[in-house]
Amino acid sequence: MTLGKTITSAKRILRKYTICDWCLGRQFAMQGYGLTNKDRGLALKTLLLMTGTETYHDNPKQGLTLIRHLVEHGQYQPAREFLLKEGITDIKPSQVCDICQGVMDRLPEAAQAAIQSLQDWEISSLLIGTRIDPTIIENEEQLRSELQIDSGEPIKAELNREIGKLVTEEKGIDVDFESPDVVALIQIPKFSVDLEVHSLFIYGRYQKLKRGIPQTRWPCRECGGKGCQRCKNTGKMYAESVEELIAPVLLELTQGKDVKFHGAGREDIDALMLGSGRPFVIEILSPHTRTIDLQKAIKRINKSTKGKVKVSNLRFANKDVVKHVKGGATTSKKVYKALVYVESPIRQDTLQTLQSVSLPLEVNQRTPHRVLHRRANRTRKKRIHTLEIVPVSSKSFELTISCQGGLYVKEFISGDEGRTVPSIAELLGTPAVCKQLDVVTVEIEEDQLPW
């Protein structure tokens, strides 16, 4: 659109609509560079006043009409001053903008509402969003439709940007369009504010040093967590979990609302997690404080768990790390140590045959009976990388297995009534059962995570 066409369009707008500088400039937002829409609208009104005053001297009626539009529809004070200078006093008072209903002139008020809502939250990045009264959107759409204007910017985009600039400048924080700490949603024109506080993610490793503890809170099967006689009104199958042992300290330090626990797989309830521990990410929901001393947190957690669980290597993460930690649970390398009991005494040469089995060994595992209630019934292929056997008695031995994550070790030992093939029981030719299981290693390339 040429400048001449822009001025003509601006004239047509002012002939019919009362419009503020912001809303006039926004209709031509694709023109000019380095200007706010308010600057653009004011510049157009200035050009129209210059046009009107020049016309007024040659054609007073035509020039006066344009200048009156600038005063009565354009809220333009220099045009009012020109009319008064010419002795013209029958000037109608300017009305509120037909498009934004005066909202654009209240941007500092909107910004202060957001700032007030954020005062109790520690944040380093922010994104402003708006929910706008549909009438305001309809007003602008009607104007553009009538005058066939296609060079404008949506009022929502302008409100988000301009309020965001005021808020971030005053608070000294950054705008983040991808992953802000908080999204402040401002209701327009009420200026009430809803906050979407994004989670804080902390990566670490945990060791589980006591059996009988699940990884995460396990709601009672009987009551679904409501509390009943079976669970002694706790709503839980087990009194505590790794999650519940770690979370309280972090919730206190961050003043968070709740947590979600994301592990790189999970060990059985009756298994220990040894070695360097299992990678996990704890997601803290609605944290008021985001900057905490993680070394102090480690000490406090390890003291509070009384030797049941220990954490290490805590560091701040993000939601992409969660995806990699969880996604790699079935592909990463894991090492287990199992105490195996067999039904019939086994000879040394039989154990040697087992230890010399061709590796890597591919195992076909149909979903075990014990997890069918919560897992899809399908066959999974897993690899065994190494097997090491140390005899304990004629009917027991210690088995160390290096394998692909996601292998059901107990079923690899027992065969699970033919659902896992091959199995230790099949290779030995006698029923076998895992009496005790420890996870020794969960490998993950931490330097490859998307920090």
pLDDT by 10s per residue, the chain, length 451: 688 889 999 999 999 999 999 999 999 998 878 899 999 999 999 999 999 999 998 999 999 999 999 999 999 999 999 999 999 999 888 899 999 999 999 999 999 999 999 999 999 999 999 999 999 999 999 999 998 888 889 999 999 999 999 999 999 999 999 999 999 999 999 999 999 999 999 999 999 999 999 999 988 888 888 889 888 888 888 889 999 999 999 999 999 999 999 999 999 999 999 999 999 999 999 999 999 999 999 999 999 999 999 999 999 999 999 999 998 877 789 999 999 999 999 888 888 888 889 999 999 999 999 999 888 999 999 999 999 999 999 999 999 999 999 999 999 999 999 999 999 999 999 999 999 999 999 998 888 889 8
For residues 200 and 87, give the distance between their C-alpha atoms in angstroms, rounded to a whole number.
Answer: 66
Quick one: which H or E segment has residue 129? Answer: strand 125-132
Residues 340 and 389 placed together within one structural domain of the fold: yes
Question: Which pTM value belongs to this model?
Answer: 0.87
413 and 432 Cβ atoms separated by less than 8 Å:
yes
**Catalytic: 447?**
no
The answer to whether residue 225 sits within a structural domain is: yes
For residues 284 and 200, give the distance between their C-alpha atoms in angstroms, rounded to a whole number.
Answer: 5
For residues 299 and 307, give the distance between their C-alpha atoms in angstroms, rounded to a whole number.
Answer: 12
Instruction: Give the residue among 413, 418, 406, 404 at the shortest CA–CA distance from 435.
Output: 413
Of the three residues 197, 232, 255, the one that is the final residue of a domain is: 197
Residue 155 lies in domain: 103-197
Residues 66 and 80 placed together within one structural domain of the fold: yes
Quick one: which H or E segment has residue 77? Answer: helix 77-85
Residues 217 and 311 placed together within one structural domain of the fold: yes
The answer to whether residue 162 sits within a structural domain is: yes
The answer to whether residue 451 sits within a structural domain is: no
For residues 224 and 292, give the distance between their C-alpha atoms in angstroms, rounded to a whole number.
Answer: 34
For residues 117 and 181, give the distance between their C-alpha atoms in angstroms, rounded to a whole number.
Answer: 14
For residues 290 and 260, give the distance between their C-alpha atoms in angstroms, rounded to a whole number.
Answer: 16
Residues 292 and 359 placed together within one structural domain of the fold: no
Crossing angle for the helix pair 3-16 and 134-147, to the nearest 10 degrees = 120
Catalytic residue among 268, 270, 416, 447: 268
CATH number at residue 308: 3.30.70.2510
The answer to whether residue 81 sits within a structural domain is: yes
The answer to whether residue 92 sits within a structural domain is: no
The answer to whether residue 364 sits within a structural domain is: yes
